[in-house]
Structure 1
């Protein structure tokens, strides 16, 4: 009997789990979002969020002005931002004021989750 061990898979999972656990301890670590919006191909404004949001071929388009205070990777969105979330992977995090805005893909559908700051 031969037992195959895949150390890279174990290491990859352990690294992912460490990053995920750290993310849950972030200031936006509430277990449930305070809002969730499923978005489609037609541009739409989402309640409580700035900008206009839509999806084309799995890519998320966000049209926002600097005054909307919507940031991605520490940079204010000014114009159209195109993001490419991966199905069933951890979400892409944006910031709006004190809220975390998470973009996720599940089963080919795109959702926007809004997380309140932790108390």
Structure 2
């Protein structure tokens, strides 16, 4: 008996999805989450100040440097820092969080460039957050596919939410599956845990009911036979769906699905046009 055939199974399926969705929104609403970001700044060799952050910032071959004014301090890994501090070379997709009062200053590297993102808990985008709209959970969108690894991971260059920025990910393989008898495929990237996968995609709902640029789906590690489960009910928005201060990757061209995936998270309230 499948979930669709069992009322009890459907109730459990829905309850588990609702708990997952609530955890997602709670993480978004964290006091120093992406909804708290107040700016996206790109330090250069010329020292400069940035709104929402203390000190004067610069970046070069040796990484990011801050020079704090008299009376200013940051706390980095539990250590109080004053005056001049060098963060060193930050690896791609890496980052350091420096605490400044009730704020956090994120220093990170994306697309080969150093960036600075102040995160303030009182930011209106965070304090007014009312949750992310989503399609109702539906077992129809739990789909079994087949994962085929590439002989070697393929470096894959994709665009970013920030114009002119690019990300490079190693794609370990491709997933094939069927929807309504139609064979489809998605290039996969590595997921959040060892062996797991992640896909970035758009579909026929993108720009209509779901965010236009991208959605993401985390996938549990494939079985011994290469089988994978794609639960599109858990397709999520990336931070760029909520704020312009994100550098999210865009899907590779081959991940633009020609069908409507009417499942998962929808366009955030914050991005919907205001009726006039």
TM range (shorter): 0.5 to 0.7
Match for residue 87 of structure 1? 92
1:77 CA displacement:
1.7
| Contact 1:36-1:111 at 8 Å conserved across structures | yes
Alignment partner for residue 106 of structure 2, among 102, 106, 109?
Answer: 102
Match for residue 58 of structure 2? 54
Matched pairs, number? 96
TM-score normalised by L of structure 2: 0.31
What is the distance in 2 between the residues matched to 1:114 and 1:39? 13
SS in 1 for 2:46: coil
Moved over 6 A (4+): none
5+ residue gaps, structure 1, are 1-20
Q: Which has the higher contact order (CA 8 A, sep 6+)?
A: 1
RMSD: 2.3
| Contact 2:32-2:119 at 8 Å conserved across structures | yes
1:48 CA displacement:
2.6
| Contact 1:58-1:108 at 8 Å conserved across structures | no
Match for residue 9 of structure 1? none
What is the distance in 2 between the residues matched to 1:32 and 1:50? 17
5+ residue gaps, structure 2, are 1-23, 128-276
1:39 CA displacement:
0.8
1:67 CA displacement:
1.4
TM-score normalised by L of structure 1: 0.67
Match for residue 113 of structure 1? 117
2:46 is the counterpart of 1:42: yes
What is the distance in 2 between the residues matched to 1:94 and 1:103? 8
Q: What do residues 63-114 of structure 1 show as CA deviations (whole Å, max 9, x unaligned)? A: 114611322122222221111321122x200011111110111122111011
Larger radius of gyration: 2
